[in-house]
Amino acid sequence: MKATKDASQWHKKWSTWAGLLSALSAVQELLPLWEGIIPEGHFLIASALLATAIPVLTSIKQANIDE
């Protein structure tokens, strides 16, 4: 795996955002805040889909990032 040379470019990476959203979705499944609004398991499914997409997103060349 190749790391980003310029750490200041982290916010431009699709895979970084997918990872953050995956973690956030997993945490949301544990919080009772959404109980009654979002059916149980939907955040878990979103988290799993995002986590699965991360390797694909990591391999995509992004033109707006200097590497």
In a domain, residue 38? The reply is yes
Would 64 be classed as within a structural domain? Answer: no
Residue 2 lies in a domain: no
Q: First and final CA of the chain: distance in angstroms?
A: 14
Main-chain phi, psi angles of 14, to 5 degrees: -60, -40
Q: Is residue 32 part of a domain?
A: yes
Residue 15 lies in a domain: no
pTM, entire model: 0.60
Confidence of residue 37 (pLDDT cuts 50, 70, 90): confident
Domain residue limits at 48? 20-59
What is the predicted pLDDT for the residue at 32? 78
- Structural domain total, the chain: 1
Does residue 10 fall inside a structural domain?
no
Residue 44 domain-assigned (yes or no): yes
